[in-house]
Each structure stands twice: as C-alpha cells, then as structure tokens.
Amino acid sequence: MNYKYKNSERLDPRLHSFINLIGDAPEKRNSTRDEAVAAANTPDAIAGREKWQQFVNLSDNEQIAPSKGLKIWSEKVTSHPDNNSINLQIIRPDTDEILPCVYYIHGGAMSQLSCYLGNYRAWGKMIAAHGIAVVMVDFRNSVGPSSVEETGPFPCGLNDCLSGLRWLHANSEKLRIDASQVTVSGDSGGGNLSMALAIKLNRSNELKLIAGLYLFCPYLMGDYPNDAFPSSIENNKILLDLNGNGPVLGYGIEHLEQKNPLAWPYFAQDADLKGLPPVVISANECDPLRDENIFFYRKLLAAGVATRCRLIMGTMHGTEMFLPTACPEISHDGAAHLALFAKK
C-alpha cells in the first residue's frame, strides 16, 4: 500500500505545501534510451523543468544564503577522454587563505539539473560560509542538459566528474585549496557519482586525491520497487517517484543488468570499498531511498570503512539542498556538518 504522504504526520508540515505545488509526476514507462531522452525533452517535460527551476531559484537570496565575504566564479574545463567542455562553479571565502575543499556533484538522477540552479548556488554559499572552498561540477547529464548542452549515457557524467577533480588538483595552488583536504560530496544522483568516483579512484590507486566522502540521500541501486527496502514502496512519490524508468534507461540499462558498481554503487564488492577514506551518509526519514542508504552504510562498515550515518527526521528526499526556502535551519545544519567533516 502506498504511503499517504499528503496527510502524514511524519513529514515536516512546511514540506506539504511544496509537494502539493509540484503535484504527482506522471508514471511514464519507456522501452529504450532514445524513448527516455525524447520523453525528457517534450514541451511538457521542458515546461516542468522550467517550473522547478523557477521555484528553486528563489533559494538564492541574501536572507537564506548571504554572499557577503564570498567570491563566486566559473571555470571551463576540458573533460577526458572525450575532450568535451564542462563547467565548474567555484564558491569560496574572498581570501588568499589556503582552505579545505568540498568538490560537489549535483543531484538529478544523473540525468538532469545543474549546479548553476539557485538552490545549488545557495547550498554552495552555505557550505563556503564555514571557511570552505566549494567546487561544483556541471557534468554531462544523461537525458536533459545542464549548463552544457551535450548529454550522454554512462560513463559520460562519471568521466566529467573525474576530469573536474583532476583539474582541481592541478590548479589547487591557483584556487588556494589544500589538495590534501578535498572531500567529495553529492546528493541523490550526485551521491551515486560521488561513490562511483571513489570506487574508480580505488581501482586506479588514486584515492590520495580525496580525503573523505559525504553522501546526501544517494541514489545507488536503480531497481525499484524493492521489497527488501520498504521505504522504496511506503515513501514513494514523496517528491521522488521511483516508478518511472527514464533515469535508468537514460543512463544505460545494460549497466544495471550487469550490476556495474561504477554506474550503480549499490552493487560494489568489498574489494571496491576496502581502503576508502571516511564516509558520512545522510538519509532522509521520508525518502524512498532511505532504506538503501542505511543498507549501504552497513555495507561500508562491513568492508572496514570508517562510516557514519545520519537520519534527518521529518525530511523528504534532498530537503537540505532542494528546499532551503522551506526548512532553512535544516539546510544550514547539513551544510555546517559537511563543512566540519571537510575540515578534519
């Protein structure tokens, strides 16, 4: 039985109005990647994204996320091996001090959204306000454009994230970043890419490039609903609808069928995880992904990784970075905890 989210006492009351605003997404089942891409770029789908963007852009204001004392700019970077261009948004205190860094990967099921949306710019400012340099990567989405028009399936986005990280290290002196204190963080699909990036670095003996991982509501498994994870059924359609298969097809269904942990880190083996730096997973109580997040926390512990898990009560998927206008103190708490972790 689906969870009756609109009348739930578990969800913070401030979030109900937002759920009612966006309404229920249509349950669309596609058969191929081409169909998924086409469905994501119909006039109605584009209009829906624009409506979402208009709402989240309201987050970028001086009351919620002050810009005083911060410097914000962009860099265009060549990604390898495809030699495509990606954009990095840098937000840091306006000082020459060498600072710890959070390398941030935005959410959107690896298929859409952009770190240049107002909610992510606000989120980056919240983190930077704690004395952190924030580098946000706008990778190639799999179905809808970010700040770069080009899209592509796995491993396009992962390659872009790795290229941005390597650029960061190559330019750490110019950026005034402590290259020994780079924390990779991301939400939802960005949490997937963050863990996949760590696994890729582990396989290539490059873990020295990162000091830690902080994953917010990571989207790790791709195969839903799953009876082993009751939240994938009980909490479905609380912001996130797992019934649609567009993101999975857009990213490449063959990688899910092959249980490729670089595409779907849920399937990582001990050898992929052993040796990873410290990890924090932050889960949302009313998120369909809650139970797989907790499962993966235990999987990391079993592999010997120093891991902590937070469960933020009363919140839905991505409340911290998607809805600072609704619950600003929850967003600021999340940013402060991430910043504290990045400084250690």
Q: How would you write the pLDDT of the chain (344 residues) with one tens digit per residue? A: 344 555 578 899 899 877 766 655 555 667 788 888 888 888 888 888 888 888 889 999 999 999 999 999 999 999 999 999 999 999 999 999 999 999 999 999 999 999 999 999 999 999 999 999 999 999 999 999 999 999 999 999 999 999 999 999 999 999 999 999 999 999 999 999 999 999 999 999 999 999 999 999 999 999 998 999 999 999 998 888 888 777 899 999 999 999 999 999 999 999 999 999 999 999 999 999 999 999 999 999 999 999 999 999 999 999 999 989 999 999 999 999 999 999 98
Name the residue ranges covered by the structural domains of the chain: 5-22+36-343
* Element holding 331 (H helix, E strand): helix 328-343
Instruction: Give the closest residue to 84 by CA, choosing from 145, 18, 23, 159.
Output: 159
Distances (CA, A) of 303 to 12, 230, 277, 283, 309: 35, 24, 12, 20, 15
Note the residue count of the chain: 344
pLDDT of amino acid 175: 98
CA dihedral (140, 165, 99, 76) in degrees, to 10, reads -50
CATH homologous superfamily of 5-22+36-343 equals Alpha/Beta hydrolase fold, catalytic domain (3.40.50.1820)
- Calculate Rg over the CA atoms of the chain: 18
pLDDT of amino acid 28: 62
pLDDT of amino acid 2: 43
pLDDT of amino acid 85: 97
pLDDT of amino acid 198: 98
| Three-state SS at 112 | coil
Rounded CA separation 213/120 (Å):
18
pLDDT of amino acid 22: 61
pLDDT of amino acid 34: 86
Q: Got the DSSP string for 250-274?
A: HH-HHHHHTT-TTT-GGG--HHHHT
* Element holding 76 (H helix, E strand): strand 70-79
pLDDT of amino acid 18: 74
pLDDT of amino acid 46: 84
pLDDT of amino acid 237: 87
